[in-house]
Structures are given as C-alpha cells and as structure tokens.
Amino acid sequence: MEQVVLLAEDGTAVGVEDKAVVHHADTPLHLAFSSYVFDSAGNTILTRRALHKKTFPGLWTNTCCGHPLPGEDMAQSVLRRLRDELGMETPAPELLLPAFRYRAVMDGVVENEMCPVFRVLSDAEPVPNPDEVDSTERVPWSEYASSVLDGTRAVSPWSRLQVAELVELGPDPLAWPVAGPEGLPAAVLTNWRSASPRA
C-alpha cells in the first residue's frame, strides 16, 4: 500500500498514512510535489487527470504531481511519477518553488499539501498511463500562463496558484533560476539531494 508523509505546520514529518485513505473532507497536511516538463522550444506538457481519480478528476493541470514515499528523495519521486504516469525517462528535475503550499476543495474532497515545484527539461513524447492521465496537450508556456491568469483556461487550483508565482521568475521558462533547498519543508531536507544543474 503506497503511503504519504504527514506534516506538522513547520514542515517536519509526523507520520505516514495510506494514500488511498488520506484524502477526504479533513485531509491532513502532507508532502507532495508538482512538476512542469518543458521542451527545448519552451512548450510545456499539460495533463488532464483521469476521470476516475478520487481528487480533482478530469481537470487539466501541470505535467505531473505526486507524493514522495516515506524516506524517498523528492527528485527521485518526480522521476518515478513521470515514468509511471507518462512513460517519460527524463533528466533530473530542477527546483523552482521550494516553499509552495496550498489547500483546495472539490466535491467535498480536500487537497492540503506542502508541494515544492520543479522544472524538467525534455523533448520526449509522453505516453499517458490511463490509470492516471486522460490526455495530454503541449502548449507554449506564454499561452498557458496568460490563459490561466486571465481565467480563460480552467485548470487545477494548484496550477493556477503556481503559475502566478512562476511568471514572477521571468517570461522564459528555460531561463528561470534554479532555487536552493532553503524553504523546502524540513521533511524534504532530511532526504534532500540537490538535482544536478544543467551543463
């Protein structure tokens, strides 16, 4: 049974819970990540969540989200979920927003996560796993960001909040600065191995 890491308000780990039962009307704070895959032209891959998912089914969102396993390095968790959800073998992820956190509700089910955000650079084509992803779309970052911020594109609440922070890093997603581990939840820092910078 896959488990997620439960967190205290200061970001320290306080336990684990089975992923299958952790999301409900009073979901405890837990550890997650979001990632955005960009190709060499600056396009990003969007995914539509599978229609049968318990949380936020059928919503368009960023490339891949997930939960690190207890004791798992977060960068490795990003790579694992990209393989599992999209069949993508990619280079190491780069940390962008170490302190991102959000809470969102849909149909009475709550997401409540400390959720660092990563960039992944790859020109590979996704092969969606239908258990996780209904469909994908590759769009220019500028188009995606503009449509999210002006409300013309409906996306997950976490991606909407992340886009608002990511655009502050500059217009070119390939030139965004890589963040240091400062600001990561303490539960991540206990296992953090910084992703290798691009050559």
Q: Indicate which residues carry an active-site annotation.
A: 65, 113
11 Cβ contact list (under 8 Å, min separation 6): 114, 184, 185, 186, 187, 188
Q: Which amino acid is at 65?
A: C
Q: How many residues does the chain have?
A: 199
Q: State the Cα–Cα distance between residues 182 and 115, nearest whole angstrom.
A: 14
Q: Is 38 helix (H, G, I), strand (E, B) or coil?
A: strand
CB-based burial label for 193 (10 Å; 0-12, 13-18, 19+):
exposed
The kind and range of the H/E element at 174 are none
